[in-house]
Every structure is written in C-alpha cells, then in structure tokens.
Amino acid sequence: MRHGQTLIASAILALAASSGGATAQSVFDPSGLPQTRGTVRQYTLTPRGDVDGLILTDGTEVKAPPHLSAQLVFAVRPGDAVTIHGLKARALPLVDGSLIRNDATGATVADLGPPRRDRAETTVSGRVGMALHGKRGEINGVLLEDGTQVRMPPREAERWSVELQAGRSLTVRGILLRTALGTVMEAHAVGASAGAMTEIDPGPPPPPPPDAPPPPR
C-alpha cells in the first residue's frame, strides 16, 4: 500500500513540476504527502552558506530548496518540534520536504517553486516612507509606506532625489516581485503620477566574466 501511495505522490509532484504555473501551485496540496515528525537538531548548508534543509535529532535529513532558505530560518530553529510532509527515500533516513511546519507556532514553509518574477511591467503608486541606500551610503531606491521596496541605479536615484524624498507621492512602473519576505520593484520609470512619468536609464550592461567567449562578429 505504501509503495502505491509513493507512486501516486511521485506522479502528482511530477505533474506539478511540469506544469510550472500558478495553476499547478494552487491545485496540488503537499499536506497530502507522507508525514514525518521530529525535532530539529541543526540546519544543513550549501557551499554558499544557504540553508537547504534540516537534520532531525533521530538523524533524519530533510531537504528543502535553497530559495526557501530565509523562510525556513524564520519559521524553524534548532530545538523546534516539526512535522514534515514529503516523499521518503527507500533506504535512507532522507525526506524531500515539500511542507515543513513548526508544531508550536504553526509557521509553515511550503515548496511551491521559486519566486516567479512577472516580466510584464506593473505600475504601483504610494507615498515615499524613506530612502534606501547601498553600503557606501548611495541612494539606490525607496521604501513606500505600504512596505514596497523600489530599486533603481544610484545615478538615477540621485537624478530623482527631490521626487524620492520622504512624504512625496510617487508612481513607479517596472517589474514587481512578491515573496514571502516582502515586495520589491525594479523601477523602469518614475513620476509624481501615472501621466507624468520619465524612463529610468538602466546604464550600460555589466561587463562579461573574464572566461566568457568573445561576442559574435
């Protein structure tokens, strides 16, 4: 029976992955996958230091994709009791964690695929709450009062320094990305209103890496 359930779960996950869209993410419920309970001993890390899973006190290894690294750290800490839903390896204490829940707080991390950036431009409007800065103190965007972060090249932020002052009304057109940790927009145009916007100069593209092949002639 368990073998049959595993095959069904594998087919469901494969179909969800191949669909790749919002429909698949909303239709398939990872809480229906096999369940594992335990207590977190520590995180597992990638070579870059991103969290990519958990080790439970009984030695079970729980894998999670790196794009959930920040969410997992916020939701679950060593010593927490957790419930994991995901496929189990046949001969190893290994679980592919599709859903991880903190039993005490109810905080849940679900793998619905990496954050998807809608490449279609969107327009947002709001009041500037504060300027955002790079590590050298240069302004590279603003935080709107609704929490949306707007990012732009520092030279363009300097050009628009008056419009980006706290308390000013701002309309921005660009690429919006919503994640569990917040909302950020890559600004393509800014202005005081939708009818009075000016394009942002993106500047020259970054130089290719040293080992990149030469461009075609």
Q: What domains can be seen in the chain, in order of their start residue?
A: 2-11+27-110 (2.40.50.140), 122-199 (2.40.50.140)
Instruction: For the chain, give the mean pLDDT.
Output: 81
Rounded distance, CA 216 to CA 132, Å?
39
Task: Give the model confidence (pLDDT) of 151-176 as tens digits.
Answer: 999 999 998 888 899 999 999 999 99
For the chain, list the strands marked E by DSSP: 35-45, 51-56, 61-63, 81-88, 94-102, 108-110, 122-133, 139-144, 149-151, 169-179, 182-191, 197-199
Q: Is the pLDDT of residue 3 over 50?
A: no
104 closest CA partner among 85, 83, 118: 83
% residues pLDDT > 90 (the chain): 46
Predicted local distance difference test score (pLDDT) of residue 160 = 86
Q: Is the pLDDT of residue 25 over 80?
A: no
Predicted local distance difference test score (pLDDT) of residue 217 = 62
Q: Which of 2-6, 26-30, 78-82 has the lowest mean pLDDT?
A: 2-6
How is the chain split among helix, strand and coil, in percent rounded to 5? 20, 40, 40
User: Taking residues 193-197, what's their average pLDDT?
Assistant: 84
67 versus 25: which is more confidently predicted? 67
149 versus 67: which is more confidently predicted? 149
216 versus 133: which is more confidently predicted? 133
**Residue 128 has which token pair?**
């500037």
Predicted local distance difference test score (pLDDT) of residue 209 = 64
Task: Give the model confidence (pLDDT) of 52-84 as tens digits.
Answer: 899 999 999 999 887 888 889 999 999 999 999
% residues pLDDT > 70 (the chain): 77
Predicted local distance difference test score (pLDDT) of residue 180 = 67
Predicted TM-score of the model (pTM)? 0.56
CA 63 to chain centre: 17
Predicted local distance difference test score (pLDDT) of residue 172 = 94
Task: Give the model confidence (pLDDT) of 123-140 as tens digits.
Answer: 999 999 999 998 888 999
The dihedral through the CA atoms of 102, 103, 108, 112 has a sign that is positive
141 closest CA partner among 119, 121, 124, 117: 124
Task: Give the model confidence (pLDDT) of 78-115 as tens digits.
Answer: 999 999 999 999 888 999 999 999 999 999 998 877 66
SS3 call for 188: strand
Q: Torsion over CA of 206, 211, 216 and 217, rounded to 10 degrees?
A: 90
